[in-house]
Structure 1
Amino acid sequence: MTRRDQAPHGFEERLLTDLKAHVVSRAEPASTARTVGRRIRFPRGWRLAGAFGLAVALTAGGLAVQTMGVGDRPPPTASAAEIFRLAADAAREQPELVARPEQYVFTEVLATMRELPDSGPYRTSRVQTWQSAGGLAHAQARYRPENEPDGWGDLRVLRPNDPANPLKELDELPSPAYHGDLPTDPDELLRYLRDHPVDLHLPEGADEQAVYGSEGMAYTTARSMLHGYVPPRALAALFELLARQPGAVVISGDVVDAAGRHGVAIRMPGVIGGNSDFVFDRDTHAYLGTRDSIVRDGKESLFSATALLRVAIVDRPGQLP
């Protein structure tokens, strides 16, 4: 597996670290009892199959904060496969963005997260990120509290951390954020994903064949790619591919994100100790973002979520579309 075949896990981890540092510094400007930028601590038993261990930690977002009871939802009115196919139709209608390798994929999201997975207040930040379209430079990001329009922090470079030494930054460049070379046929796309698996950074002795061959592989890869930019026809193929994969379910009931958009959530399989959902617009079925929750004593509580606001191609970090 080459560097360019790997998912941008270092980028995701550093983005989470910086966002948490930003939230803590805003919430507790005078406190010295806590360490700004420390790694997130998950409760004992919190374990995620596949690449969701880091993806769930990253997905801080803008869905309305809510506590959801498990098992008390009415039956869904549509299957996950039907929602994914409608999302594919919506993807085909999007205008296509074209990027040169030296350009950047700009994304803006609303990010709501808890300091710890199952306790503490929820805080919402607006996050602007510039990722290298061709994987030629490290990503950069800036943050501000959603209730402070003039509260933007400085632009920060996001470098991956060394798994063996979390305090040491690596110079390894990320994967390209512009996925312009993906097949546009679902069957061909599945073969491509199997030939270019997401690097899960598994511990020594782990059964790589079992993990990489699991049914959740396509969901893991889709979530990673949606942090960057996937052109409309390839995005449609990705959702068509997910429509064929078993295990996903529709969560009934209205979901409202931080932008006030009403959505429907599809729960991904393979998550242990919690849940991870894709969220689509309830009317247009356009992709809106993600949300993640933990389950304790039969009760589910939202930990973090993302509300994707806009995506664009720009020439340099800090430039707005």
Structure 2
Amino acid sequence: MNANTPRQSPAEWEEGAQLFDRTTRDLPTGRHQFHKERMMAQIHELQQEERTAAPSRTGRRFRLPRPAIVLPAMAAAVAAAVVAGVVTSGNGSGVESSGGVATGPALTTQVGAATTKGVPQLLDQISLAAAEGDHPTVKPGQYIYIESRTADSFLKSVDDKTTLAGHALHRRQMWKSPDGTKGWLIDPAVNDSPEGETLSLPDEQGNTPKANLNGPSYDYLAKLTTDPDALLAKIYKETKGQGNSPDQEAFTTIGDLLGESYPPAELYPALFKAAAKIPGVVVVDDAVDAVGRRGVAVARLDETSGEREEWIFDRKSHVFLGERSVQVKQNTGVDALIKPGTVTFTSAILHRAVVDDIKQTPSRSQAG
């Protein structure tokens, strides 16, 4: 789940901590306690920060590195800060290692010009391309395989000094069964072992969360309406109260389904038609994905955080390439470190295919 979550007060975080163990999923044995300890350290750090500076009022989107983590709003803010917020370190400057991923300077780009002109036409072309593309049905016993390259920028605190840093571009592989109960993740930014970790359910607490829009399975998506108006109405209804605004959360929800998900052939074009109905959607004529492929982006600016989410498509074929989030407005408080032009998250989808076994990779002819 990618949630738009405002910064919470320490009191709210302590309340969220009580929900943390009951609501996280896709975490292997032992990592709940690890993240809880990290979370409490973050609470202490925020308490110190509030004594020396005014708290930031800017809501910011945090991306969790595991798919389909289903959290209440309060616990989402806690988990987001633990995984992707201010990262503490006792080391000095220079390139470091975070898990199995090198840590260095923050990612930056030139902020591309945005326009509302041509939005319906572009999304119509994308919808047509989605309807015509090869999209095999996933059968029971098979797995959805998604391989991507990802990188991100984050705030890092070293000896009471906070700076902006970035995780280097790295490979990420995920397998999921159609019903969402079996899966595997290999991501050096997340895993303790290069072999990866299970995403299978039930989790170590015996919970099997039901699939939903923020944590969908293929089977769940196959049951959604393909009528764009009804689909968008469902998205607004089920994400009510989440994010920084209803429109931004609807856009984010659709964007999440384009990345580490596999919408059925009938649903895929409906997602783009629904997106065309969201106010504030723009076109960015020149955008670059995580591996340097240039394309055109469908985007929307989060007025609260000043961050623009961009879905990047091939200019000719209109195939989805990836997504990125770019800071386009100057903020205040600690968020002022994230200056315009900072790429807070970027991902390029390299392979999306149906395979016959977990941890099996597709042949070149299968990959899409």
Find the partner of 1:233 among 262, 266, 273.
266
CA contact (8 A) 1:131 1:228 kept: no
2:14 maps to none
**1:128-147, aligned counterparts within 5 Å?**
128-137=173-182, 139-143=183-187
Equivalent position to 1:94, from 133, 140, 144: 133
- 2-structure distance, mates of 1:75, 1:271: 14
Equivalent residue in structure 1 for 2:251, among 219, 234, 255: 219
* Cα distance change on mapping 1:212 and 1:190 into 2, 3 Å: farther
- Determine the C-alpha separation between the residues in 2 that align with 1:129 and 1:76: 35
Q: Tell me if structure 2 keeps the 8 A contact 1:142–1:153.
A: yes
One-letter code aligned to 1:237: A
Pick one of 36, 44, 47 that aligns with 2:59.
47
Q: Does 1:281 align with 2:281?
A: no
- Matched to 1:190, the amino acid is L
Given the superposition, is the C-alpha separation of residues 113 and 265 from structure 1 closer, same or farther in structure 2, using an over 3 Å criterion? same
Deviation for aligned residue 1:193: 3.5
What is the CA deviation profile of residues 128-158 of structure 1, one whole-angstrom value per residue up to 9, with x for unaligned ones?
A: 1012311223x3211369xxxxxx9212124
Note closer, same or farther for the CA distance 1:133–1:46 as it changes in structure 2 (3 Å cut). farther
Q: Counterparts of 1:289 and 1:310 in 2: how far apart (Å)?
A: 11
> Do the aligned partners of residues 269 and 209 (structure 1) sit closer, same or farther apart at CA in structure 2, a change above 3 Å counting?
same
- Equivalent pair of 2:151/2:170 in contact (CA under 8 Å): yes
Written as runs of structure 1 = structure 2, the 5 A alignment for 1:110-259 is 110-116=149-155, 119-137=164-182, 139-143=183-187, 153-158=194-199, 171-173=207-209, 175=211, 176-178=216-218, 179-193=221-235, 197-198=238-239, 208=240, 214-226=246-258, 227-252=260-285, 254-259=286-291
Q: Is the aligned partner of 1:66 residue 2:108?
A: yes
Residues in 1 aligned to 2:117 and 2:348: alpha-carbon distance in whole angstroms: 22
Cα RMSD after superposing both structures: 4.2
1:241-274 CA-partner distances (Å, limit 9, x unpaired): 111221112224x323244421122222445222
Distance 1:231 1:218 in 2: 19
CA 1:74/1:105 → structure 2, altered by over 3 Å: closer, same or farther? Answer: closer
Q: Per the alignment, do residues 210 and 128 of structure 1 end up closer, same or farther by CA in structure 2, a change over 3 Å counting?
A: closer
For structure 2, the residue ranges without an aligned partner over 5 or more in a row are 4-19, 47-54, 66-79, 85-105, 157-162, 331-335, 363-368
AA in 1 matched with 2:319: A
Specify the alignment match of 1:165 in structure 2.
none
Distance 2:242 2:174 in 1: 34
Q: Which residue of 2 aligns with 1:262?
A: 294
1:3-54 residue CA offsets vs partner (Å, 9 max, x unmatched): xxxx6989xx878x99xx9xxxxxxxxxxxxx9x967x89944414xxx544
Match of 2:352 among 294, 311, 320: 311
Distance 1:189 1:77, change over 3 A: closer
Query: Contact 1:135/1:174 (CA < 8 Å) preserved in 2?
Result: no
**Helix, strand or coil for the counterpart of 2:284?**
strand
Quick check: 1:101–1:135 contact (8 Å CA) kept in 2?
no
Q: Indicate the structure (1 or 2) with the bigger Cα radius of gyration.
A: 2
Q: Give me the whole-angstrom Cα distance separating, in 1, the residues matched to 2:270 and 2:149.
A: 27
TM-score (normalised: structure 2): 0.58
Higher relative contact order (CA 8 A, sep 6+): 1
1:249 alignment partner, SS class: strand
Matching residue's letter, 1:116: L
Instruction: Give per-residue Cα distances to partners, 1:93-145, cap 9 Å, x unaligned.
Output: 211221134432110001122353872244011111012311223x3211369
Aligned equivalent of 1:202: none
2:342 to 301, 309, 314: 301
- Give, in angstroms, the shift of residue 319 of structure 1: 1.3
1:184, distance to aligned residue in structure 2 (A): 2.5
Distance 2:56 2:120 in 1: 33
User: Within 2, Cα distance between the matches of 1:76 and 1:108?
Assistant: 31
Q: Distance in 1 between matches of 2:300 and 2:64?
A: 12
Q: Which runs of 5+ in 1 are unaligned?
A: 1-6, 22-34, 146-151, 163-167, 199-207
**What amino acid maps onto 1:255 in structure 2?**
A
Q: Secondary structure at the match of 1:264?
A: strand
**Distance in 2 of aligned mates of 1:271 and 1:158:** 34
Distance 1:101 1:8, change over 3 A: farther
* Separation in 1, partners of 2:207, 2:352: 26
Equivalent-residue separation in structure 1 for 2:108 and 2:188 (angstroms): 22
Structure 1: how far apart are the matches of 2:347 and 2:155? 17
Equivalent position of 1:85 in the other structure: 124
- For residues 276 and 99 of structure 1, the distance between their equivalents in structure 2, rounded to whole angstroms, comes to 29
Structure 2 counterpart SS, 1:225:
helix
**Aligned counterpart in structure 1 of residue 145 of structure 2, from 88, 95, 106:** 106
Structure 1: which amino acid aligns with 2:342?
A: S
SS in 1 for 2:174: strand
- Please give the alpha-carbon distance, in whole angstroms, between the structure 1 residues aligned to 2:64 and 2:152: 14
**Residue aligning to 2:324:** 291
